[in-house]
């Protein structure tokens, strides 16, 4: 997937919604998509972070719409879907990237509110995105949905709690969705396990790790681009980097 041509405008005229877009992988994907001609709709909680990425997108000749939003406010996801319909009439690419780790602890030691908050953001918000954006993806010539997972979903290591549980649920969720859309739509839905990348979430999981030894998030952006292209035929797959 790293062979995707640079600056080829392969997403020209397309609208891409990216969650968790204010930093890390979401920000890198936003800049990459914008370089390929997409109008990027950037969702995150931090206004300052969104404005920084907006500057980076515009510096490369791209365009963006900023949406400060906590995805755990599920009604706002529905409102965002309605707003996108009113403005664009469709959605070409959905990237579900936003996630929170919490902390390492035995299952029985997790505070119930923190557990619920992580499951809400890492799993339920992605279902709400599918629910709200599926009608818009169906109106696109080649709708593409991409969600970010982790090997922790399959390894189920001790002490990784709600994050690993949510990612396991997310993998099942997306595979179900991929099966439902396979026969009668042009939508394709897949997951990416980005592996090691220098992100704030990774720093929370591995606090003793030297960030200078970790590859930057930009290294994974081409893999997202490949799954966003109309010619992508993958569906229901987990792309591991």
Note the pLDDT tens digit of each residue in 12-65: 999 999 999 999 999 999 999 999 999 999 999 999 999 999 999 999 899 999
CB of 224 within 8 A of CB of 19? no
Helices assigned H by DSSP within the chain: 24-35, 47-59, 74-88, 112-119, 125-138, 152-155, 161-181, 200-205, 221-228
Catalytic-labelled residue, pool 110, 163, 177, 206: 163
Three-state DSSP at 64 gives strand
Note the pLDDT tens digit of each residue in 143-163: 999 999 999 999 999 999 999
Statement: residue 1 has pLDDT above 60: no
Note the pLDDT tens digit of each residue in 65-87: 999 999 999 999 999 999 999 99
Note the pLDDT tens digit of each residue in 76-128: 999 999 999 999 999 999 999 999 999 999 999 999 999 999 999 999 999 99
Specify the pTM.
Answer: 0.93
Domains and CATH numbers, the chain: 15-240 (3.40.50.720)
| DSSP category for residue 123 | I
Confidence at 8, pLDDT banded by 50, 70, 90:
low
Q: Is 159 an annotated catalytic residue? A: no
Note the pLDDT tens digit of each residue in 40-50: 999 999 999 99
**pLDDT value of residue 156:** 96
Burial class (CB in 10 A: 0-12, 13-18, 19+), 155: exposed
C-alpha span between 75 and 174 (Å, rounded): 21
């Amino acid at each position: 997937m790293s062979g995707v041509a640079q600056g080829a405008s392969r997403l020209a005229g397309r609208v891409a919604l990216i969650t968790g877009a204010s930093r890390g992988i979401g920000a890198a994907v936003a800049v990459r998509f914008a370089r390929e001609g997409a109008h990027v709709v950037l969702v995150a909680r931090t206004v300052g972070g969104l404005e920084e990425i907006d500057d980076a997108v515009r510096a490369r000749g791209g365009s963006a719409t900023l949406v400060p939003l906590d995805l755990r406010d599920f009604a706002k996801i529905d409102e965002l879907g309605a707003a996108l319909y009113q403005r664009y009439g469709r959605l070409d690419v959905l990237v579900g990237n936003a996630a929170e780790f919490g902390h390492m602890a035995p299952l029985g030691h997790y505070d119930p509110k923190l557990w619920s908050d992580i499951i809400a953001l890492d799993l339920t918000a992605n279902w709400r995105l599918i629910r709200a954006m599926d009608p818009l993806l169906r109106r696109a010539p080649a709708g593409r949905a991409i969600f970010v997972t982790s090997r922790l979903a399959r390894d189920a290591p001790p002490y990784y709690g709600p994050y690993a549980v949510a990612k396991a649920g997310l993998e099942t969720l997306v595979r179900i969705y991929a099966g439902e859309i396979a026969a009668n739509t042009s939508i394709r839905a897949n997951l990416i396990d980005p592996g090691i990348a220098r992100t704030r979430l990774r720093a929370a999981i591995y606090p003793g790790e030297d960030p200078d030894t970790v590859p930057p998030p930009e290294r994974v952006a081409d893999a997202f681009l490949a799954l966003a292209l109309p010619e992508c035929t993958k569906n229901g797959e987990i792309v591991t980097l």
